[in-house]
Amino acid sequence: MSHSLIPERMLVVSPSLATTLGLEEAIVLQALNDGARSVQTQQPGDWLAMDKATLRKWLPFWSDLDIKRILKSLSDKGAVQFAHTANGSSANTTNQNTTNNGNSEREQLYFSFNATAAAQSPTQQAYKAAQLQHKAPIATNWRPDQDTVRYIHETLGIAKQFAQNQIQEFVLYHQSQGTLAASWATMFIRFVKKRHEYLASQQRSQALANSQPAAASTQITTNTNTSTNTNPQGKANNAAPVVAMRPNPVSTDAIFNQDKQRRTAMNREWQPDSDTVEILTRAGVDQRFIQDCISEFILYWREKGDAHDTWNTKFVAWVRRQWAHYSASLANPTDPVPMKDGWQPAEDVYEILAMASIDRAFAQSLVQEFVLYWRDSKQLHTSWNSKFLQHAKHLWSKRLNGQTSQRDYVANTSVAEQLADTSWAQ
C-alpha cells in the first residue's frame, strides 16, 4: 500500500554511485538514464536526447541553475558528455513522434554516456597532473611492507592480524574511488588507525549499553478469547493465549546516537590525511608551515578535551587562519627594529608631506642627520616612517614660526632638542 504523500514517480538512486559521484550527480544521472532516447548525430558515439521539460518535471526541487551546475559537474567528472546542435552538429531523433511534439531543439538535451570528449575535463587534467607528481593508483595486489606492519603494531599498538584483515577492503575502497597517492603505506596506516578507533568506540558503546538494565522495548497484547478449540479426535483442549509483539516508537535522538559514537578525542599521534594537506598546499600554504602547525593544533585540542569526527576539516580552518596571520605579519611587521644605514623614507611619506605643503627638498635634507642620530642611539621603533614624518612636520613648523632658514634652526638647535621639542603639536 503506497503512502498518500507519494502520488508521483519515485526517484531511485544507487548508493555506490552516490558515494562515487555525489548524491546530486547520482540523482541527475539516473534521471538522464531513465528519460533518454536514441538520436542520430554527426558526432561519433552513441548519443541520446531528453526533453528539458521532462527533466524539470522529474526534478522540481531544483532550479535551472542548479540542474546546470550538476550537469557541469557530471561532465567535469567524465560521467557524461554533452553536445550542442546550434553549430551544425544537428541531432535528429529516430522517433518521429518525438520530433513532431512541438518541442524545438533548444528544449532538447543531447548527451552520451560513452562518447569521446574533444578535450580533457578538469578532473582528467587533475588526474594527469597528479601522475606527474609521482602519485599513482593503488595496485590490485598491493601489500604493506614489513616496516609498515611493524609500525602499526609497535607504535600504534594494533595487532598485526587486524592490520592484515584490512588490506582487501583498503585496496577495493581506493580502487573504487580512483584515489592517487604518493605513499600507499602512509595511507594504509591512517586507514587501519581510523578503523581500529571506530571499532573500539563501537565496542565501548555496546558494553555500556549491555551494562544498563534493558528497557522494555515491546508491548505485549494478549488475545483474551477463551473459546475452546477442538482437535481432530473431538477432544477439547484449551488454546494457549495468542501473544502479539508491537515495537515501541523509537526517539529520533536514539537514531543519531552513532554520530556521537564516531567522535573521538584528539591524541598525540594524530596526523592530517593526504587530502587535507593537498587542499592546503593548493591554497598556497607552505608545506613546512603545515607541518609546524600540527603539534600546536594537537596541543590546543588535547587541552580543550573536546571530541569531534571532523578533525581534518578543523585543521584546514586552523592552518588557514594561522597562515593569514603569518602573511599579514610579513606584509606589515609589528616588531620594533633598529635604524639601519642607508635608510630612506617611503614614497608615501613624501606624498603625505606634500599634502601638508611641505617641500620635498626640505624633507630630503633631514634624512641623513635623522639616520645618524637614531642609529647611534640604538633605539628600536616599529615604524621609522612615522617617526620621520613627525620629525619633518615639527621642523617645518619651527621654520614657519620664526626661524629664518632650516640651516639656522639646525645650527642653533641640537638633534636631541629638536626631537624632544613637541611644541609643534600644541
pLDDT at 115: 58
Residue 153 near residue 81 (C-beta atoms within 8 A):
no
Residue 118 has pLDDT above 50, yes or no: no
76 Cβ contact list (under 8 Å, min separation 6)? 121, 122, 123
Confidence of residue 130 (pLDDT cuts 50, 70, 90): low
pLDDT at 387: 87
86 vs 46, more confident:
46
pLDDT at 181: 80
Q: How far apart are CA 197 and CA 191, in angstroms?
A: 10
Q: How far apart are CA 87 and CA 316, in angstroms?
A: 45
Task: Name residue 222's beta-bridge partners.
Answer: 243
46 vs 339, more confident:
339
Residue 233 has pLDDT above 60, yes or no: no
Question: What does the pLDDT look like over 341-352, one tens digit per residue?
Answer: 889 998 888 888
pLDDT at 269: 86
Q: How far apart, in Å, are the Cα atoms of 186 and each of 129, 189, 198?
A: 21, 5, 19
Residue 36 has pLDDT above 70, yes or no: yes
pLDDT at 425: 46
Q: How far apart are CA 189 and CA 197, in angstroms?
A: 12
Three-state helix/strand/coil letters over 219-251: EEEECCCCCEEECCCCCEEECCCCEEEEECCCC
Q: How far apart are CA 121 and CA 126, in angstroms?
A: 9
Question: What does the pLDDT look like over 172-225, one tens digit per residue?
Answer: 888 877 787 878 888 899 899 988 988 888 888 888 877 765 544 444 444 444
3-state secondary structure of 403: coil
Question: What does the pLDDT look like over 318-342, one tens digit per residue?
Answer: 898 888 877 776 656 666 888 888 8
| Closest to 383 measured CA to CA, from 348, 418, 424, 421 | 348
Percent of the chain at pLDDT exceeding 90: 6
Q: How far apart are CA 426 and CA 424, in angstroms?
A: 6
pLDDT at 132: 52
Question: What does the pLDDT look like over 402-413, one tens digit per residue?
Answer: 654 455 555 556
Torsion sign (Cα): 127, 130, 134, 137: negative
423 vs 357, more confident:
357
pLDDT at 172: 85
Residue 395 near residue 418 (C-beta atoms within 8 A):
yes
In this prediction, residues 270-278 reach a mean pLDDT of 89
Cell of 294: 600540527
pLDDT at 163: 92
Span of 141-145, 325-329, 417-421 with lowest mean pLDDT: 417-421
Residue 356 near residue 393 (C-beta atoms within 8 A):
yes
Question: What does the pLDDT look like over 236-272, one tens digit per residue?
Answer: 455 444 444 444 554 545 544 555 567 888 888 899 9
pLDDT at 101: 45
Q: State the Cα angle at 71 between 51 and 274, rounded to 5°.
A: 160
Cell of 6: 507519494
Cell of 111: 548527451
425 vs 337, more confident:
337
| Closest to 240 measured CA to CA, from 262, 217, 223 | 223
Residue 103 has pLDDT above 80, yes or no: no
**Burial class of 387 by CB neighbour count within 10 A (0 to 12, 13 to 18, 19+):** middle
62 Cβ contact list (under 8 Å, min separation 6)? 70
Query: Which of 163-167, 223-227, 260-264, 384-388 has maximum average pLDDT?
Result: 163-167
pLDDT at 18: 81
pLDDT at 162: 92
Q: How far apart are CA 265 and CA 263, in angstroms?
A: 7
Residue 100 has pLDDT above 50, yes or no: no
pLDDT at 411: 58
**Mean of pLDDT over the chain:** 74
Residue 167 has pLDDT above 90, yes or no: yes
3-state secondary structure of 38: strand
pLDDT at 165: 92
3 vs 269, more confident:
269
Helix axes 347-355, 384-400, angle to 10 degrees: 30
Question: What does the pLDDT look like over 48-64, one tens digit per residue?
Answer: 888 888 888 888 888 88
364 vs 89, more confident:
364
Which amino acid, residue 216?
Answer: A
